[in-house]
Amino acid sequence: MEPRNENKSSILLLHNAMIVTMDSQSRVYQDGAIAIQNNSIIAVGKSAEILPQFSSLSPQILDLSGQILLPGFINTHVHTSQQLGRGIADDVDLLTWLHKRIWPYESNMTEQDSFISTLLCGIELIHSGVTCFAEAGGQHLSGMASAVEVLGLRACLTESIMDWGEGLPASWAARTTEECIKLQEDLFMKHHNTADGRIKVWLGIRQIMNSTDRLLAETRDTAKKLETGIHMHIAEIPLENQLIVETRGVDHGTVTYLEKIKFLQNNLLAAHTVWVNEEEVDCLSKAGVKVSHCPAAAMRMLGFAPIREMLSAGVCVSLGTDGAPSNNRMSIVDEMYLASLVSKGREVFSKGTTDPTALPAETILRMATINGAKSILWDKEIGSLEVGKKADIVVVNPSSWSMMPIHDCISSLVYCMRTENIVSVMCNGCWIMKDKKIITIDEEKVLSMAKHASAELLKRAGIQVPSRMNFL
């Protein structure tokens, strides 16, 4: 393959690796090379073909023999500002989780808390091979943006937005719809396309049970005006659908109502989307809505999402971890493994028969890469290893007891790989982790800051985690 340009600025060649491109032809180069210039991929193919093309340009050459290169993983639903609350809401129902733990926690956050929380979350994301994430809705977007810039990651950031409903902390309940929209417009103008283009700002709707019709309509129209996306939790629990049927005059639930008010658009990222029927899946598909599937969080509090049916209907489904208080593990590697197993198990639950072919490994890998990029409207630049795309790359060392021997590379990446197998991560052409050490921040310092900040935050919020056993 010919190089895309001949600029003689610094070129990095990664070669002798197995390259899983995730391109439209699902190409895997068993002895492959990638050429990177500035922040972009300028050539990809077999080592024997790529290296001679650049030999006269004195490139920097890195031999990655025995290792596997993948596009950076994309986590399409994660609450980074909840990381300081890991473990404060385990084994409780969703409304207790929200009203008694998470909302008091979030409403007492400062911008510095959000900065530290996002740094802490970012450490875990990077170690699991994530180069880009979609913030699911948190507090103090400016703090998140500062952390993303320092970490070197790529992100679609979203403020948590609510303008109505029971259980809201006083400071949130006082916000008008107009203030909610203006806040997001101001954040968009301040942070969108910053950090060398690595930060995008989206609009957020926390959930329909805390949104007026006006907020929904104005969010839809503002996102269209700003040419950005909307991130929203949709159809999480049966109570949500029941409430919508009772109060908004439709016969099923959230997706049916959102279709009625023309909220379903191709810039909508719907998180979880567990309690939907066949007609609603069809609505999602026709509107081009993207779905973020968070298998661990769904199993914990929500239920079994009809992912196989969504994929069959043509819905673009990606993977997310959700936040630390609803999953505890921010590893997209774990989510890949779970996503396949959950869907296989759901076949028994829904049909009474087993089907081990449900959501095979190659489908899961697409969900974590190119589908993730499509879900956040960034697939022209990321999600696969192709000429012209940004150099967001994960280096996997499979030579460990967890992955060896390898008979099926793609299967092993989904069913055998662990976070420990991810050794280096590049985002936007820059290494942010090398040899398992994050080089953009001091991990130990962040851990110390997080320990102090989380203790102070829980104290301000008045949250006490009950003892489960007899501590002496």
* Average pLDDT of the residues of the chain: 95
Average pLDDT on 232-260 reads 95
Please tell me the predicted confidence (pLDDT) of residue 400: 96
Please tell me the predicted confidence (pLDDT) of residue 32: 98
348, pLDDT greater than 80:
no
- Residue 82 banded pLDDT, cuts 50, 70, 90: very high
Please tell me the predicted confidence (pLDDT) of residue 338: 96
Residue 321: which of 366, 275, 274, 368 has the closest Cα?
A: 368
Domains with residue ranges and CATH for the chain: 11-71+384-438 (2.30.40.10), 73-376 (3.20.20.140)
DSSP strands (E only) in 401-448? 422-427, 430-434, 437-438
Share of the chain above pLDDT 70, in %: 98
- Residue 7 banded pLDDT, cuts 50, 70, 90: very low
Q: What's the pLDDT tens digit per position in 200-239?
A: 999 999 999 999 999 999 999 999 999 999 999 999 999 9
The answer to whether the CB of 131 falls within 8 A of the CB of 72 is yes
Secondary-structure percent of the chain, ordered helix, strand, coil, rounded to 5: 45, 20, 35
Type and span of the H or E element at 342: helix 332-351
6, pLDDT greater than 60:
no
Please tell me the predicted confidence (pLDDT) of residue 9: 66
Please state which of the ranges 59-63, 133-137, 268-272, 296-300 shows the lowest mean pLDDT. 296-300
Q: What's the pLDDT tens digit per position in 439-464?
A: 999 999 999 999 999 999 999 999 99
Q: In what order do the strands lie in the sheet with 290-293?
A: 203-207, 230-234, 268-272, 290-293, 316-319
178, pLDDT greater than 50:
yes
Average pLDDT on 78-82 reads 97
Average pLDDT on 236-265 reads 95
The answer to whether the CB of 59 falls within 8 A of the CB of 11 is yes
Tally of helices (H runs) and strands (E runs) in the chain = 19, 18
